[in-house]
Copies of this chain bind each other. A is one copy, B any other.
């Protein structure tokens, strides 16, 4: 039915911006890509197939006026991050693109960002659907993981350590500082602004702006790390909704409690330069958009995990422990604190810091 929505140009548009840009079989399992009723993957013997879908809606997941190349990057990367959180490697993806008009400039930039990410991660665009309507980008990513070896949310055991990769809070601080919510109803801005209402807001340097744009639009699916630690992790999730919510999902799926030591949370210096540490904690816990791995591993694997992290030059931080019980408990320098974030994303209450 799609051609009827964009009668003159949909097929040409697909050919021009997507099919003709098809960069061949970036993954050998893709035996049939764009251009038939469905894509076909063959030769995944010994592998399980992972499938995940994320929809990015204009004005909610990205500002409508954002650089289309960055939207393309972000749309694919946030999906791939889910694959990495399963210990899977990317194979291919499909694209459901709804856009208000066949804007060639927009499409040129969007597809360039999308394909740049696709090439970086070795996964081909294998199909999809283009329609006219309010701008949104729906991507389904397909990955592979050795059969029986996916890392689920459900394997954390009491005594395991809780880790995160790289740094947290950057996604949320980026949203705030880049002013993306000025013209668009990005839900988080107001909240962080509220948390920040006594903070000094200053202009960004060019380097800071580049860093924040990167954090928001080009999160890094942690494939290399997940591939080397697949057999060490007992559970994993990617931090998309904020550490508090996502750790909560791990705890629930594993039937355990998680203790998070707030004083251990890792923050980038670029983020600490822009906001207080307390606000960083708020952003990390409730902000989301960081797309780092949050995972657990037996304490006996501690050295191995640190070695992989060192090899990859990736910061990996033990931020807490798995306990008997349920839910997420927050501690600051040994003192229990409560996450009174109430409805939505109110800021984290004053922490009794030294």
Contacts and interface: CB of A to CB of B under 8 A. Distances in A.
A51 B92 contact: yes
Interface string A36-66: 1111111111001111111101111100000
A51 B127 contact: yes
Interface residues of A, number: 81
A98 B55 contact: yes
Query: Which of A1, A43, A60, A289 has the most B CB atoms < 10 Å from its CB?
Result: A1
A53 B94 CA distance: 7
A334 interface: no
A96 B128 CA distance: 13
Given A53-B129, A60-B5, A288-B4, A37 B136 contact: no
A111 interface: no
A301 interface: no
Given A1-B288, A37-B237, A288-B4, A128 B86 contact: no
Nearest to A188: B4
Interface stretch (A149-157, A274-282, A302-310, A323-331): A149-157
A48 to B, nearest CB: 4
Interface stretch (A20-28, A77-85, A311-319): A77-85
Contact of A37 (B2, B86, B129, B345): B86
Given A60-B133, A86-B36, A86-B38, A343 B7 contact: yes
B36 A154 contact: yes
Given A36-B86, A52-B38, A3 B245 contact: yes
A241 interface: yes
A108 interface: no
A140 interface: yes
A174 interface: no
A344 B6 CA distance: 9
A82 B40 CA distance: 12
Contact of A345 (B4, B43, B51, B131): B4
Nearest to A96: B55
Contact of A241 (B4, B58, B253): B4
Contact of A133 (B31, B40, B134, B148): B134
Contacts of A41: 48-51
A301 B3 CA distance: 32
Contacts of A43: 147
A145 B86 contact: no
A238 B147 CA distance: 33
Given A134-B134, A153-B36, A48 B55 contact: no
Contacts of A337: none
Given A49-B41, A52-B39, A129-B55, A78 B1 contact: yes
B60 A152 contact: no
Given A4-B344, A35-B253, A55-B138, 5 more contacts: A39-B51, A40-B86, A49-B49, A51-B92, A51-B127
Interface of A: 1-5, 7-8, 31-32, 35-45, 48-55, 57-61, 78, 82-83, 85-86, 88, 92, 94-98, 126-129, 131-134, 136, 138, 140-143, 145, 147-148, 150, 152-154, 187-188, 236-238, 240-242, 245, 253, 288-289, 343-345
Closest 6 CB pairs of A and B: A38-B52, A7-B344, A140-B140, A57-B133, A138-B138, A55-B96
